[in-house]
């Protein structure tokens, strides 16, 4: 039986921007090796797999190389997919069972709001070799359980970062967040995200990284809700609110491809 397989651009209001994710509907769980092979075939930063699990949906995320514990843009894409195909009722909150606990998605006017756990940044010295691999001059560094964070002085410096991805892949972290302060008129902060160890040299828009970034920038701006832009080549916008030990991520999504996957492959 063919399986619905969509490609959805997340954290954007227009197609061919934001971060593309593949979303595949399953009738039941499948072998991990098959899920990983499909994700490698899609060759996107994430492929999301969904199936019904009692009153919730089971959601798993795979890069072309590995399964990950948390992914923002593919969760946004998965929620958009469920509402579009009618598996979820319009206006109803969607509950996902994931490796990061229960995550929710809700429709907020023309945006989708995700409820994620925060991942606080602790300031400290950078890992050996990180700054040489990035080729930039940090004004602050830190890390959390998953990622390393580097703050640079300006948007121009952020955009000019050109990592040595082979050396960056040797850093013991899921990925490296490079960020700078925004002007406060359009965005409070900007960022880029590099994860060559996971098979993604540069991720276009990384929702899960903003669960760390909001804890870093909210105290500096003395605001709970911040506007953010990830200035990759494709670019993507989101709004994030620090709400206790949770982060509310808001963004839009656009379907760009609808198809079927041969389940016998």
d(CA 65, CA 13): 28
Average pLDDT over residues 80-105: 97
Helix axis angle, 207-221 relative to 72-85, nearest 10°?
120
| Phi, psi of 87, rounded to the nearest 5 degrees | -75, -25
d(CA 137, CA 150): 9
What pTM does this model have?
A: 0.94
pLDDT in tens, 209-236: 999 999 999 999 999 999 999 999 999 9
Position 46 scores a pLDDT of: 97
Q: Can you tell me whether residue 190 is helix, strand or coil?
A: strand
d(CA 71, CA 98): 10
The residues carrying an active-site annotation are: 46
> Is the four-CA dihedral 231, 237, 242, 243 of positive or negative sign?
negative
What is the Cα gyration radius of the chain? 18
Beta bridge partners, 104, equal 95, 115
Maximum distance among all Cα pairs of the chain, rounded to whole angstroms? 54
pLDDT band at 263 (very low <50, low <70, confident <90, very high): confident
pLDDT in tens, 119-143: 999 999 999 999 999 999 999 999 9
d(CA 104, CA 89): 14
């Amino acid at each position: 039986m063919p399986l619905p397989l969509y490609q959805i651009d997340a954290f954007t209001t227009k197609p061919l921007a934001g971060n593309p994710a593949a979303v595949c509907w399953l009738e039941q769980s499948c072998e991990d090796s098959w899920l990983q092979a499909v994700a490698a075939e899609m060759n996107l930063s994430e492929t999301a797999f969904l199936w019904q699990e009692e009153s919730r949906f089971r959601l798993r995320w795979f890069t072309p190389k590995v399964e990950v514990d948390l992914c923002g843009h593919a969760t946004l894409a998965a929620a958009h997919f469920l509402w579009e195909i009618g598996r979820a009722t319009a206006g109803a909150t969607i509950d996902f069972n994931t490796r990061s606990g229960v995550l929710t998605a809700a429709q907020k006017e023309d945006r989708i709001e995700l409820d994620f756990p925060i991942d606080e940044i602790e300031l400290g010295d950078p890992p050996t070799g990180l700054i040489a691999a990035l080729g930039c001059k940090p004004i602050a560094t830190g890390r959390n359980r998953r990622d390393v964070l580097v703050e640079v002085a300006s948007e121009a410096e952020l955009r000019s970062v050109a990592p040595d991805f082979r050396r960056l892949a040797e850093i013991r972290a899921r990925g490296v967040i490079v960020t700078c302060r925004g002007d406060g008129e359009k965005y409070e902060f900007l960022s880029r995200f590099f994860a060559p160890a996971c098979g993604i040299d540069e991720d276009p828009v990384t929702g899960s990284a903003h669960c760390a970034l909001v804890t870093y920038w909210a105290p500096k701006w003395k605001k709970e809700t911040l506007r953010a832009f990830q200035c990759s080549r494709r670019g993507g916008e989101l709004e994030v609110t620090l709400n206790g030990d949770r982060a509310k991520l808001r963004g839009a999504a656009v379907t760009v491809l609808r198809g079927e996957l041969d389940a016998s492959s």
